């Protein structure tokens, strides 16, 4: 199965479908990520705060997959935005992952109350220049935060990783990203199981029409909307199911009816409220 790639604004490519490991128990991360790699995923999304980078690294080492076939993302936590701390943080993450570089390094939240997200971004520019991250981007940044980074640095973020699922479709940030060359990564792509997305008529009808599961329909909706997506599951069966999404295509009408589920309701935290 070939996963499509997206070319980022710095010329590097990213597999459009990956595997996320938020809330994957550190003790189980090696087994679960090994399952994902065996199923065929080559893009893993972790973060320092998930405390499972060591397990991700162990699975990578055990897999024997050539480094250049993998795409590994990790994230800088909120209390490490100061330059010296950010440089130490990437070294710690690389050490845990057993890698000499990540493919993508993100600032995890802007924490605007502390007003240090531009400093964190300038540190990421240096980390990229040092070869420790191929591409750099941000997570949970809103339009005003992105404008400040673009005005205050020489680099437009390659991605913005934001909460995005049918009930919270983030049209403003997607439009801003399209205008500025910032690709959007959807976190919580299945709504984190926090509302009955799979019971929505638009989703269940498409699932029935294509003989697939509601989760597969929602992942397809992300892919056909040009979004980068990395659903998470601990179950090997679901890990495989979530990767098996290239044998069918949603029609324009099906996409439109899922688009219509946008109610502006978050399941996660508002970026202004995270410190
Ligand atoms: P998700 O929307 O991927 O939902 C995961 C939940 O959906 C699982 O716990 C499981 O219960 C259910 N699920 C998965 N596959 C299923 C299937 N086939 N059928 C039925 N149920 C299924 O939520 P997520 O894990 O929060 O988001 C994905 C990834 O995004 C994370 O693992 C992480 O890498 C990233 N993320 C980033 C941030 C951020 O602030 N940058 C925040 C949250 C998540």
pLDDT number for residue 87: 98
Residue whose CB lies within 8 A of the most ligand 1 atoms, among 167, 185, 188, for a mutation test: 188
pLDDT number for residue 267: 97
Q: Quick check: is 50 catalytic? A: yes
pLDDT number for residue 184: 99
pLDDT number for residue 22: 98
pLDDT number for residue 211: 98
Domain residues of the chain, as ranges?
Answer: 5-194+227-233
Dihedral of CA atoms 225, 248, 211, 1 in degrees, nearest 10, equals -110
pLDDT number for residue 209: 98
For the chain, residues with pLDDT lower than 70 are none
Its ipTM equals 0.99
Nearest CA residue ID for atom 42, ligand 1: 187
Find out whether the beta carbon of 242 lies less than 6 Å from any atom of ligand 1. Answer: yes
Contact criterion met (CB below 8 Å) for 231 and 43: no
pLDDT number for residue 60: 98
- The CA distance from 69 to 13, in Å, is 11
Nearest CA residue ID for atom 24, ligand 1: 188
Contact criterion met (CB below 8 Å) for 244 and 36: no
CA of 200 to the centre of ligand 1 (A): 18
pLDDT number for residue 203: 98
- The CA distance from 204 to 52, in Å, is 34
141's tokens: 């940044």
**CATH tag for 5-194+227-233 (out of 3.40.50.300, 3.40.630.30, 3.40.1190.10, 3.20.20.100):** 3.20.20.100
Nearest CA residue ID for atom 11, ligand 1: 193
pLDDT number for residue 100: 98
């Amino acid at each position: 199965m070939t996963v499509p790639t997206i070319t980022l604004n710095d010329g590097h490519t990213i597999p459009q479908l990956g595997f996320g490991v938020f809330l994957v128990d550190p003790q189980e991360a090696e087994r679960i990520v090994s399952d994902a790699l065996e199923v065929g995923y080559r893009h893993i999304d972790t973060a320092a705060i998930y405390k499972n980078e060591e397990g991700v690294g162990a699975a990578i080492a055990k897999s024997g997959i050539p480094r250049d076939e993998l795409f590994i993302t990790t994230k800088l936590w909120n209390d490490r935005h100061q330059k010296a701390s950010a440089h130490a943080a990437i070294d710690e993450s690389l050490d845990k992952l057993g890698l000499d570089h990540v493919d993508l390094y993100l600032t995890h939240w802007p924490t605007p109350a502390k007003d240090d997200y531009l400093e964190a971004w300038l540190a990421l520019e240096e980390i990229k220049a040092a070869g420790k991250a191929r591409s750099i981007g941000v997570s949970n940044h809103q339009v005003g935060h992105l404008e400040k980074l673009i005005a205050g640095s020489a680099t437009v973020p390659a991605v913005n990783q934001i909460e995005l699922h049918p009930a919270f479709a983030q049209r403003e940030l997607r439009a801003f990203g399209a205008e500025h060359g910032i690709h959007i990564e959807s976190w919580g792509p299945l709504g984190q199981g926090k509302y009955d997305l799979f019971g929505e008529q638009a989703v269940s009808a498409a699932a029935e029409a294509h003989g697939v599961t509601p989760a597969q329909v929602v992942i397809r909706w992300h892919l056909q909307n040009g979004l980068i997506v990395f659903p998470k599951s601990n179950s090997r069966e679901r890990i495989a199911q979530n990767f098996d999404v290239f044998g069918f295509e949603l029609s324009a009408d099906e996409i439109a009816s899922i688009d219509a589920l946008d109610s502006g309701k978050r399941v996660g935290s508002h970026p202004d409220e995270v410190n």
